[in-house]
A and B are shown apart, each in its own frame.
Chain A
Amino acid sequence: MTYEYVERGPMARSAGAMSREVVGPRVIVEDPDRDLVARWQAGDEQAFEELVVRHERRVFRLLYRMMGNKEDAEDLTQETFLSLHRHGHRFRAEARFSTFVYRVAANAALNRRRALGRGRARIDKLKTRQDAGDDLPSSPRNPEDATHGAELSEHVRLALEDLSPSLRMPVILYDIEGLAYGEIAEVLGIAEGTVKSRIHRARQALREQLKGLLGSNAVEEI
C-alpha cells in the first residue's frame, strides 16, 4: 500500500494564503526514511540516531508550539524519540515514518497538556507571563505597540496558546508546519473534514484574538 501524499513544497507556505490554491500535483512520495527504518528495525542503532537527527527539528518545533516553552518542548521531544525507540518496532511501512513520528509527538503533547489540566496550565502560563513582565492581554491595546516582527509573532504565539489543543494542533500542523490535510488527519486520527473545519475555527479564533493587530502597518508588511 502506498500512501498518496500531497507534496506542497516549501513554496506553498511562504507564498501566502491566496496562492495556496495551487496545491500542486498529487504525487506518490516514497518514504525517504524507509531504508533507515528498515536498518533500525534490523537492529542498527546508528540508523535510529540518524532518524532522530532527521526528525528532531520538526518534532521540537511542533512541541514548542504546542507547549509554549522550550523546556517542555525539549523534554517531550526526547520522550517522543524514546517512545519511538521503545515501541517503534510496531511501525510498518504502510504509512510514512514522519507521519508516525508526528503522531507520537502529537500524542505526547496532548497527553502532557491533559495531565497538566486546563486550570493549572492557564495559571502556569499567567505566572510565566508575569514573571517575564509580560502580563499583557494576548492582543495589544495599541496596535502601534506591535511594530516589530518579533513582537508580532509573540502575540501570535500567545494567541495560539489560548486555543484549545484540539484546535491548535491542526492549525499548527497546517499553517506553520505545512502538512497536508490528509497527513494531519492521519497524525491526529480524525477525518479530513474535521481537520479542515478545525483549522478554520482555529483561524477564526486567532483572528478574534489578534483583532487589535490586524490592519496595522506591521501586519500589512508581512
Chain B
Amino acid sequence: MNHREVQKGLADYLEGDLPLSTRARFDAHLEECGECAREVGEMQQTIRLLRAMPDPEPPPMIAADVMRRIRAGETRLGPFQRVMRVLTGVLEPAFVLPASAVAVAALVVMVMQGPSGGARFGLDGFSVGEESAAVVVTPSLATAAASSPASVHPGVAGAARATAAPVAVTRPVPAVPVPDTERAVPSRSPRVRHSESGLAESWMALQAEASAGAARSVAVEGPVPAFRGGPSRPLLVADRIGAQGLAHSLAQPQRHDGGVPFSLRVPQLLAPVAPTAATGEDARDLWLARAFEDPVGFTRYIASQSLAEQELWVTRLSERAAARGLLDELVDALRVTGDERARHLADDFSASVTRRAGDVRGD
C-alpha cells in the first residue's frame, strides 16, 4: 500500500468501513510510514474533538414562544398565499409537467428582496432569505396576458417595504392553452432554488415557451433589479427544472438595450414534450410514455428531484397508471432494467397505490 491508496481509503478506514484484508494492509502501512500514521492520528483526534463538543443549552421558552406566535396568527396563510394555494396547490403541489413549457410557463414567481427585514419563509416552507419583502406573481399565461402589473402580495409581512422593490411583470410568451386536466393549472408549487452561481442566486425569472416551436425565452419587463446586491435583490423562486436551465442561462445573461427588458434563453434542458393541448392528453400520460420508453432515464430524472417531489411524482403517476391499467406494466418496465434505482422506484409505484387507501391527510 502506498500513500495514494491510503488517501483513497482514509475516509473508509476512519469509519471502519474497509474490508478486513484492506484494513490489515492499511494498518501495516501505518506501522511503517510515519507520515501516514500522523495523518490518521490527527484525523482521529479531529473526529474526537468534534464528538466531544458540548451541547448548547436551548433557551427555555421556545415552544411557548412558537405557540404564542402561532396563536397570534403568524402562520395563518395570507390572502395571497390562499390564492397561491389554489393556483399551485401549495399544500398539495400540483403535478408538474417538468419539461413542458406549458406548465413551467404557467407560473412565474419572483421574490424580491427589500432593503431590510427579518427572515421570511418561502411558499413551500423553506426560507427564501432574510430580506424578502414582496412577492410578485404572474399566476398563469392566460392571466398574465391580461394582468399588469403583477399582483403584489399584501399579506407577506414586510410587504410594506416593497415600495423599494421594483415590480416586475412577466411578459407572456405565446402559449397554447393549458389543458383542463387535473388541477386547473398543472404547475408546481414555487420552490426556492439557489444555484451555485451567485448570479442566479440573486436573480430570478422564469418563463418558458409554451409549446414546441415557440421561442424559448424568458422575458421580464419593468425595472430590472441589479444582478448583485443592491436594495432590491430578487431571489430565485422557480420550477426546479426551469431553475436548472436558468442557472445555466445565467452563465451568459443577455441584457437588451439598457437592460430592459431582460431576456434569458432557456436552454435545451427545457425541451418541450409534445404539446398537450393539441392532443388533449393528460400530461401524466406523456410522462408515462417516457417512462416506458426510457425507464432508466426516467428514473434518473425522478431521482434528481427533492424527496417531496419524488413522492409527488410517484403518487400522481401511479394514480394515473393505475387508472389506465398500466401500473403493473410500468412496474415491470422499471424492474426489468436491472437498474437499482429503477427497481426502488418500481417498488414505490406499486406501494403508492396500495398505500393510498390508508393515506391520512390533514388538509
* Chain A residues within CB distance 8 Å of chain B: 1, 13-14, 16-22, 38, 40-43, 45, 48-49, 52-53, 56-57, 60-61, 64-65, 70, 73-79, 81-90, 92-95, 104, 107-108, 110-112, 114-116, 149-150, 152-153, 156-157, 160, 171, 175-176, 186, 189, 196-197, 199-200, 203-204, 206-207, 210-211, 213-215, 219-220, 222
Contact = CB atoms under 8 A, between A and B. Distances in A.
Interface range for B: 35 or more
**Pairs of residues from A and B, 7 with the lowest C-beta to C-beta distance, nearest first:** A21-B16, A41-B362, A87-B125, A111-B127, A60-B58, A115-B129, A200-B11
Interface of B: 10-11, 14-17, 41-56, 58-59, 62-63, 65-67, 69-70, 74-75, 77, 90-93, 118-119, 121, 123-131, 192, 194, 201, 306-308, 311, 347-348, 351-352, 355, 359-363
Contact of B67 (A45, A65, A206): A45
Contacts of A57: 55, 58
B59 A16 contact: no
Contacts of B42: 207, 211, 214-215
Given A61-B55, A203-B47, A79 B119 contact: yes
A49 B306 contact: no
B50 A40 contact: no
Given A204-B43, A219-B45, A90 B92 contact: yes
Given A45-B70, A64-B56, A222-B52, A83 B126 contact: yes
A215 B45 contact: yes
B226 to A, nearest CB: 14
A138 B37 CA distance: 24
A116 B127 CA distance: 13
Given A152-B49, A215-B45, A92 B11 contact: no
Given A53-B63, A60-B56, A211-B42, A17 B48 contact: yes
Contact of A189 (B17, B49, B192, B306): B306
A94 B130 CA distance: 30
Contact of A41 (B70, B125, B355, B360): B360
Contacts of A200: 10-11, 14
B53 A176 contact: yes
A56 B56 CA distance: 12
Contacts of B307: 95, 186, 189
9 contacts: A14-B51, A16-B48, A38-B362, A70-B59, A90-B125, A111-B194, A115-B119, A152-B52, A215-B41
B66 A175 contact: no
A1 B315 CA distance: 12
B127 A79 contact: yes
B50 A56 contact: no
Given A111-B129, A219-B48, 11 more contacts: A60-B58, A65-B56, A70-B56, A82-B74, A111-B128, A152-B52, A153-B54, A214-B46, A219-B49, A222-B49, A222-B52
B121 A79 contact: yes
A139 to B, nearest CB: 11
A77 B58 contact: yes
Contacts of A90: 90-93, 124-125, 308
Contact of B355 (A1, A114, A115, A156): A1
A186 B52 CA distance: 25
A104 B192 CA distance: 12
A93 B45 CA distance: 39
A75 to B, nearest CB: 7
Contacts of B131: 115
Contacts of B47: 16-17, 175, 203
A114 B194 CA distance: 9
A64 B54 CA distance: 12
A73 B355 CA distance: 38
Given A60-B58, A88-B125, A203 B308 contact: no
Nearest to A1: B351
Nearest to B120: A79
A10 to B, nearest CB: 12
A176 B121 CA distance: 27
Interface centre among A1, A13, A40, A149 (most CB of B within 10 A): A1
A200 B39 CA distance: 13
A16 B44 CA distance: 8
Interface centre among A13, A70, A82 (most CB of B within 10 A): A82
Nearest to A85: B75
Contacts of B66: 49, 52, 78, 81-82, 85
Nearest to B92: A90
Contacts of A206: 46, 49-50
Given A89-B91, A111-B128, A196-B11, A75 B52 contact: no
A197 B11 contact: yes
A78 B65 contact: yes
Contacts of A89: 91, 361-363
A41 B194 CA distance: 30
Nearest to B126: A107
Contacts of B306: 189
Nearest to A152: B49
A212 B351 CA distance: 54
B52 A92 contact: no
